[in-house]
Structure 1
Amino acid sequence: MNYDDRQHLVYARARALTPERLTEWLRVFARHAPQRRPLAVLDLGSGTGRFSPALADEFGGPVWGVEPSEHMRAGAEEHAAHPGVTYLSGSATAVPLPDASCDLAVVFLVLQHVRDHAGAAAEIARVLRPGGRVLIRSLFPDRMPELPWYSYFPGARDIDEQVFPRMDPLLETFAAAGLRFVTVERVQERIADSLADYETRLKLRGSSTFERLTEEEIMVGFDALEAAVRAERRPRPVEEESDLLVLERAAD
């Protein structure tokens, strides 16, 4: 996905985290991170830096936000600057950090954009210290949750099942690189306070899945969503589930 084309223009607004959602994700990350402090953190696919400053505050060590998109990285440097964060040009298969330089790698909605999972696994393992951990937030087609927007854009589920990695092959690939399975946690989060708020966010088309839907599918989906918003008498929060996969580099 070329985020330098259109996505960088809307990503920060479409994927903005409320303070409550950010705090909850940090709690989840801290539960599975190594217990020592400070931790040096790789924020792989850091985008516009929506997590990087908070990771520096939470774990106390330097954070390296590695992002291939020039425009996304520029947005992070402008709007998510932090004395403990350095944004670098790089990718999942070419991380510009020394061997054994990180205690924790956060890989948040990234692997669906990576073609060479074996190369990514090898790079992550290379930069992790023994006992370091990888936190992979993703969807896995073999455990696919029923996301709210699939009700209005059924083609989105078909696309996600094609582009997101399956759990078992991914575990085999990462295990071959020396990263062992620890656990997988199903995380539930409130992503909007009402269906109307959810519609507003979706209309920014911040998900890369929109780039693979036809304009007809998008139009029909938003028509259905608008009808649901009009029918909503009492606003209710919109929640969604995803998985956090935890892996660990074996100690020497």
Structure 2
Amino acid sequence: MNSDFQSAVSVDSYDYPPPSQWQLALCDLMKKYGHKGGNFSLDVGCGPGRFTEMLRAPLFERAFGVDSSVNMLKRAAARSKQENVSFVAGTAERLPFPSGTFDFVLLRYLLHHLADIPKVLLEVKRVLSRSSYCVIETANPEVLAQRPVYQQFPDIARKDLMRWPRISRITEICFDAGLEVLGVDTFKDMRGTQSKDEYRDWLIKWEKNGGGTSFWRLFDSDERSRYAKYELGRLDQTGETYKRQIFTESEFLVIRPAGMQK
């Protein structure tokens, strides 16, 4: 994983509740493609571990999360209350597990942080058992490009969109790694809400200090000031009961070792 990302990342920026329908969507996806769960699952680039925990019950007997950030792992271990959920230090390029260990591997919003996606997918194939599946969850660059903030800041949009591999490119890399893409499914859900005061406080802190997720760290100080001024002005025109709705739209790529029979 990119070392600059790891050194600058804020744990709080990635420690948010999963979308309300995410676990149900994953269960439906596994049922659709004939995967019945199993013993061991792995969340690569697990961050604070919220999604790792959702792999545990009712899907798998044991869930592992791996991340190269010590701070992320500390947060995950401190908050996790589930049995049979473990967090391990390691990189996606060199997973610290024996070959054929896992019945399921999740790569959620990870690919755009990676310098060597082919190497990571070869590692994923190595740790998968023969009857296993992997789900890659990622953003579709064509959908991202429609966000209003991209229209306001085209230079930032270009920088950000370059980081996100297109679905067709991911499919090619999977094929070269000996992995078969069974299908691509779109997932849409509301990730959460912010009150007017919560959003205002976030904008003020972000304008002053920067930080946030990898997208928000693309803004320089002048760009932060411009965006914060625009959004704060817009907030002033809303009522006190205003809530900012945060939606998510992603693509689930379901893959498995090539040649595996259903």
Normalised to the residue count of structure 1, the TM-score between the two structures is 0.85
- Which residues in structure 2 correspond to 1:1-252 (within 5 Å)? 1=2, 2=4, 4-12=6-14, 15-17=15-17, 21=19, 23-33=20-30, 34-142=34-142, 144=144, 146-147=146-147, 149-150=149-150, 153-193=153-193, 196=196, 205-233=211-239, 235=242, 237-250=245-258, 251=260
Give identity over the alignment, percent: 21
- Note the C-alpha offset of 1:194: 5.2
Secondary structure of the structure 2 residue equivalent to 1:223: helix
Deviations 1:35-55 (A, max 9, x none): 324341110000111211221
Q: Is the 8 A contact 2:41 2:60 kept in 1?
A: no
Distance of aligned partners of 1:62 and 1:166 in 2 relative to their CA distance in 1, 3 Å threshold:
same
Deviations 1:140-197 (A, max 9, x none): 3355453464356554432221111122222111111121112212221213435735
Structure 2 CA distance for aligned equivalents of residues 28 and 219 of structure 1: 38
Distance of aligned partners of 1:168 and 1:108 in 2 relative to their CA distance in 1, 3 Å threshold:
same
Q: Is the 8 A contact 2:135 2:255 kept in 1?
A: yes
Structure 2 CA distance for aligned equivalents of residues 194 and 89 of structure 1: 32
Distance of aligned partners of 1:52 and 1:240 in 2 relative to their CA distance in 1, 3 Å threshold:
closer
- Note the C-alpha offset of 1:112: 0.7
Q: Is the 8 A contact 2:56 2:84 kept in 1?
A: yes
Structure 2 CA distance for aligned equivalents of residues 28 and 134 of structure 1: 15
Distance of aligned partners of 1:145 and 1:27 in 2 relative to their CA distance in 1, 3 Å threshold:
farther
Structure 2 CA distance for aligned equivalents of residues 43 and 89 of structure 1: 12
Structure 2 CA distance for aligned equivalents of residues 160 and 38 of structure 1: 36
Structure 1 CA distance for aligned equivalents of residues 23 and 200 of structure 2: 26
Structure 1 CA distance for aligned equivalents of residues 201 and 254 of structure 2: 32
The residue identity in structure 2 corresponding to 1:30 is: C
Distance of aligned partners of 1:49 and 1:3 in 2 relative to their CA distance in 1, 3 Å threshold:
farther
Secondary structure of the structure 1 residue equivalent to 2:47: coil
Structure 2 CA distance for aligned equivalents of residues 201 and 130 of structure 1: 46
Secondary structure of the structure 2 residue equivalent to 1:107: strand
The residue identity in structure 2 corresponding to 1:25 is: W
> RMSD value over aligned CA atoms?
2.6
Structure 2 CA distance for aligned equivalents of residues 189 and 147 of structure 1: 16
The residue identity in structure 1 corresponding to 2:172 is: E
Secondary structure of the structure 2 residue equivalent to 1:100: coil
Secondary structure of the structure 1 residue equivalent to 2:10: helix
Secondary structure of the structure 1 residue equivalent to 2:188: strand
Deviations 1:218-248 (A, max 9, x none): 1211111112222234636342322222212
Q: Name the stretch that deviates more: 153-162 or 63-72.
A: 153-162
- Note the C-alpha offset of 1:65: 0.5
The residue identity in structure 2 corresponding to 1:104 is: F
Q: Is the 8 A contact 1:187 1:244 kept in 2?
A: yes
Distance of aligned partners of 1:59 and 1:201 in 2 relative to their CA distance in 1, 3 Å threshold:
farther
Deviations 1:60-113 (A, max 9, x none): 321110101111112111122532111111112111111111111111111111
Deviations 1:111-158 (A, max 9, x none): 111111110110001111123222111123355453464356554432
Q: Is the 8 A contact 2:10 2:213 kept in 1?
A: no
The residue identity in structure 2 corresponding to 1:241 is: E
Secondary structure of the structure 2 residue equivalent to 1:42: strand
* Bigger CA radius of gyration: 2
